[in-house]
Structure 1
Amino acid sequence: MQLLFESENIRSLLTATSLFALSLFVAVFALSSYRRSRYEGERLKLEIEIMRRSLENKVYEATEKMTATNNRWKDVNGLLLEAADGQVSSTTQGPRDAGQSVIAAHNFLADMGIDAASLLVEEKKCFVLTPLHPRFQETYVTIRNTLTDIGLRVTRGDEVTIQSNLLKYIVRQILTSEFIVANIDGRNPNVFYEIGIAHALGKDVVLVASNPEEIPFDLSNQRIVLWSDLAELDSKLGRAIAMLKVANRTNEKL
């Protein structure tokens, strides 16, 4: 009788051990599958990101080819050139305090929930409109360093983390900046939209573009910096800002 009892206990113990081992195997298998699935998901996201960057580069390369001749360059940049040539300074209505002036009201601003009367143009502040793709980072760094060297405080749209309403933040930056510099290389739609807003608000915009060839038509009266290397960009942009400062002071006296 005792042997039968012990045999039953051993059988129950073996059954319990088998069930525990099976449960452990299932848990290990599930964890392994989860990790493998997570790894595959991360790998897929990485592959998509690499593909996206590759396609972006191809789009930018195609854009450069589309603007590689004088006629093509004029065709794709015609409206911007016309707008730059017709810029009139400025939206301000006279000084409120040293280095500050009142910003003119616009319905566009009210619709966005921006109170223009509460904002002031900040002296020596420059907002840079630029594609945020790594392809244009070197150009941006040159622009930033040039402007910083001549005493300006430089910002751009991605330097502050905005949880919502990025457009409202950008419009506020455009409004409160004394100078706007826009890199139009790459035909980036966000940059062009921001340039349109800046022009509509009457802001002075200095356009920056790499020069594919010697451009034969006269751009002397237009606020555009054409450059073939970064040293030339540094030199020409510094002069363009200096000329704009002089023009603004002249307009204030009129």
Structure 2
Amino acid sequence: MAKRTSTKKKPEPKPDPALLRFSRGLRRYLWRSVAAVLLVVAVAVLLGRVVNPPTTAYMFGESRRLGGVDHQWVPMSGIAPVMARAVVAAEDANFCEHWGFDVAAIKLAIAEGSNRGASTLSQQTVKNVYLWHGRSWFRKALEAGITPLVEAVWPKRRILEVYLNVAEFGEGIFGVEAAARHYFGVGPEALSERQASQLAAVLPSPKTRSASRPTGFLQRRAAQIRSGAATIDADGRAACFQS
């Protein structure tokens, strides 16, 4: 008689209760940590709508390196309109038309194999105020996550005001107030079209360009910026930040 083979399955081992408790606790900890980070970011963005940042991570680092920086906050009402238009024309001509990301500029940059022109003023403001300088994917991911929140909470005029006050215009020179007085000996409310365009022209490379001693290239770039500023003023693309 053939030997019968048992088909009864062995019972699966029960999971370790201690391991289950650890796994559940770890998940709760991770979710709470994520929620806490999101809450901190949301509160920081809400405060940023009305509270002027006294410094930034990059400004703090430069202050330690140089032994101090030149920086003084000035409200948008104390900045010449030509300066605001010049910066928008130079850095983000479609500032009033996008929600934080200029898709058309991104597509053009990809087609040209460059990232120049793809970063909006909103993204630059987020980077300057809430993050740090660098090209890591992690920082870019944080920037991409915070930018839409800033766009949703801050008016466009506020975004531009903050940018103009924290942007680097030269080594140790931060904000349009310090830049106007350093390069031209005038307050930001008294800047001429030429002066404003030359200040805007140094923004991509503030440590190697001088607004008061412009090279031929910078003079040509400033002329392009003046033309662009006049264009966005005429076609309505400056309406969101002009009172």
Larger gyration radius, structure 1 or structure 2: 1
Larger RCO (CA within 8 A; separation ≥ 6): 2
Q: TM-score range, shorter-chain basis?
A: 0.3 to 0.5
